[in-house]
Amino acid sequence: MNTPHSGKIAGDLISNTIQSDSDAFVSFANVTKTYDGRSKVVDGLYLDIRKGEFLTLLGPSGSGKTTTLMMLAGFETLTSGEIFLDGSSLSNKPPHLRHIGMVFQNYALFPHMTVAENIAFPLEVRGVARAEIGKLVAKALDMVRLPNVGDRRPAQLSGGQQQRIALARALVFEPRLVLMDEPLGALDKQLREHMQYEIRALHQRLGVTVVYVTHDQTEALTMSDRIAVFDSGRVRQLADPKTVYQQPSDGFVATFVGEGNRLDGMLSSIKDGWGQAILADGTAIGVVPVDARAGEPGMIVVRPEHVRVAGPDEAMVNGLETIVEDVVFRGDRLIIRLRTRGGGELIAQLNIDHATPRIGANVRAGFEAGNARIYDKALMAR
């Protein structure tokens, strides 16, 4: 349920039907995909993508995000529904006529061609004059900051350089839309993080519309203008990264995106948009009701950064009696693993300057009511 304190709970979404955007550049209209006629990989999808935005399709494996991307690219056929690009239907239009750039996880560069030849390939397919091709290839290499590698083979480049060349090839013919399918999945952590900023900066500079697929939540939060969270062929929430993280529309999004403590409880009452929940050990705490119903089992989700560990004489809102089970040093922060009186686990993420509690110590831990959101437990798995 919406409350004055929960913001726009659905983040543009309550079910799989998203309010139509009059400025939509790409529109999925009741799109369904099934391979066997029974199970739906994509289930009645309505989704509008704005011109110039960076939209990420985020979800676990098998959630339908890559199939959605492949249908937009033209590599998968729709079972039903329709996709529109800039107001025109893409039905029966082959991939090479959609004017869409594509970047794959494995780069898909031709090993027998030079870098310049790889970038030139989509221009040649489109019949661009050879004199113009040379200029456009040089421009694309400058764009990805690799102006001097045109004569090399892909195997002579690092993984990060190959990914930049794949980007250059996708952008060289100035497509209306660029699709990226897990493009950073093959890179190591440090290079992947660097390329996130590279791609984001390139998008901001060019203003091209990007649809990006990933299962990496940090990647989605870092790069996106908006995120569509997929689950079982449906979109559970569509919103900007801050809203998805701070105001998840339901329990699935709350537990899939970012780290979150989960506490079993029952919503006992609601007043003026605030709720009171009873934990398994009988402790009453203040919460923000989202879709939980009074008297029904609920799941309370609290981010670790919102959990505080009190000093001996410090007052604590929503205070819980806990035992310190472990303390982990993470360089810039402390991760404290606590066990509640009712047997639940609570993780606190503390500033490195915080006094380090002793393992085995009894401490009070708590969080503000506004940071504790309660969801209907039965709906989390739907």
Task: Name the DSSP letter for residue 349.
Answer: E
**Integer Cα distance of 69 and 83 in angstroms:** 11
- Please name the amino acid found at residue 346: L
- Residue 327's Cβ-count burial label (10 Å; 0-12, 13-18, 19+) is middle
Residue 163 has pLDDT above 50, yes or no: yes
Q: How confident is the model at residue 78 (pLDDT cuts 50, 70, 90)?
A: very high
Q: Which of 377, 270, 366 is nearest to 317 (CA)?
A: 366
Task: Please report the pLDDT score of residue 234 as a whole number.
Answer: 95
pLDDT tens track for 211-238 = 999 999 999 999 999 999 999 999 999 9
Strand boundaries in the chain, DSSP class E: 24-34, 40-50, 54-58, 80-85, 88-89, 100-103, 177-181, 209-214, 226-231, 234-239, 261-271, 274-279, 284-289, 297-302, 308-309, 320-329, 333-340, 345-351, 362-366, 373-376
- Please name the amino acid found at residue 285: I
Residue 359 has pLDDT above 70, yes or no: yes
Residue 254 near residue 298, CB atoms below 8 Å: no
Instruction: Lowest mean pLDDT of 54-63, 64-73, 373-382, name the range.
Output: 373-382
**Integer Cα distance of 353 and 321 in angstroms:** 23
**Which H or E run contains 171?**
helix 159-171
Is 313 or 174 the better-scoring residue by pLDDT? 174
**Which H or E run contains 252?**
helix 251-256
CATH hierarchy code of domain 24-99+176-252: 3.40.50.300
Q: Where along the chain do its domains lie?
A: 24-99+176-252, 259-379
Third-level CATH fold of 259-379: OB fold (Dihydrolipoamide Acetyltransferase, E2P) (2.40.50)
**Integer Cα distance of 224 and 327 in angstroms:** 33
- For the chain, the average pLDDT equals 89
Instruction: Lowest mean pLDDT of 11-20, 269-278, 342-351, name the range.
Output: 11-20
Q: How confident is the model at residue 365 (pLDDT cuts 50, 70, 90)?
A: very high
pLDDT tens track for 16-66 = 444 455 579 999 999 999 999 889 999 999 999 999 999 999 999 999 999
Chain centroid to Cα 37, Å, comes to 29
Task: Name the DSSP letter for residue 186.
Answer: T
Task: Please report the pLDDT score of residue 310 as a whole number.
Answer: 86
Task: Please report the pLDDT score of residue 137 as a whole number.
Answer: 95
Tell me which residue has tokens 């708590």: 366
